[in-house]
Amino acid sequence: MQVKVRGIVLQTTPYRESSIIAAIFTDQLGLQSYLVNGVRKKGSKFPASIFHPLAVVEMVVYHSNKAGLKRIADIQVLQHLHGITTHPIKSSIAIFLHELLHKILKEEEPDLQLFDFLISSIGILEVQEPINSSFHLQFMVQLTRYLGFFPHGEIADNLFYFDLQEGVFKESVPLHPLYLEGSAAVILQLCARYPLSMPIPQLLNKSEKKNFLESLLLFFQMHRHHFGTINSLKVLDEIWN
């Protein structure tokens, strides 16, 4: 059966001499893996350039409910990402988000709200000038809304701590070391409140921002099994330094 879908490229893996296996998150079919033959051959019908990180595509695919690799009948770029592919900072953010999403999105079940959020986020990153240096932080926090562990509560006069285990703001120090406090807790709340098109106030220095990102990754690891580590974190460190 042929199905027309929109998709976001999350990962490509070389297969044999000239083919790839592309993990693509689609609007109607959730996460699917497609075998694409001959992408590295000259004159290929589906050139490798289509499958760059976070590429937004429209496809006609051969789909069945059987497990295993699927095939693509036709594919075209739906949203050209010239800014993301050519700007070094945007590109580094895209590589980080690309790896993050590949580790997070494992289900074949469709999630249209999540898909629309991702499409919107990619579009904002593509056109944003000047670049929001906290984009990836805001994205991560807002992504949790669709993953089921969005931070609960908010900071008030007597709420200065965020419990990473429970995912909630508290007025007293948790009985374990896994929490945010002070300006880091404030930044977390701002990341949840501010739209991606609006940069949050810079309340953290470079070292504190790095620690905050590491805390967010820990938050993901605690609430998503088999999350693992993010290798592209080093790329972000080099860019921002």
Rounded-to-integer distance, Cα 132 and Cα 191, Å: 12
Strands 56-62 and 70-79: what pairing? antiparallel
Alpha helices in 59-195 (DSSP H): 82-86, 88-104, 112-127, 135-147, 183-193
9-30 pLDDT tens trace: 998 999 888 899 999 999 999 9
Closest alpha carbon to 132 in 83, 158, 93: 93
Q: What is the pLDDT along the chain (241 residues), one digit of tens a residue?
A: 899 999 999 989 998 888 999 999 999 999 999 999 888 787 788 888 899 889 999 999 988 877 778 899 999 999 889 999 899 889 889 999 999 998 898 877 899 999 999 999 999 999 999 888 889 999 999 999 999 999 998 766 666 899 999 999 988 899 999 999 988 999 999 999 999 999 888 878 888 888 999 999 999 999 988 888 888 887 777 666 6
**Overall size of the chain counted in residues:** 241
Residues sharing a CB contact under 8 Å with residue 216, sequence separation 6 or more, in sequence order: 137, 140, 141
* pLDDT in the model for residue 146: 95
Identify the pLDDT of residue 235.
73
Q: Helices 112-127 & 88-104, crossing angle to 10 degrees? A: 170
Amino acid 229: pLDDT = 84
Please give the Cα distance from 220 to 218 (Å, whole number): 5
Pairing of strands 2-15, 168-170: unpaired
Q: Which amino acid is at 76?
A: Q
Question: C-alpha 104: how far from its chain's center?
Answer: 8
Q: In Å, how far are 153, 182, 189 from 156, measured between CA atoms?
A: 9, 12, 11
Spatial separation of the C-alpha atoms in residues 186 and 1, rounded to whole Å: 50
pLDDT digits (tens, 9 = 90+) for 36-54: 988 878 778 888 889 988 9
pLDDT of residue 239: 65
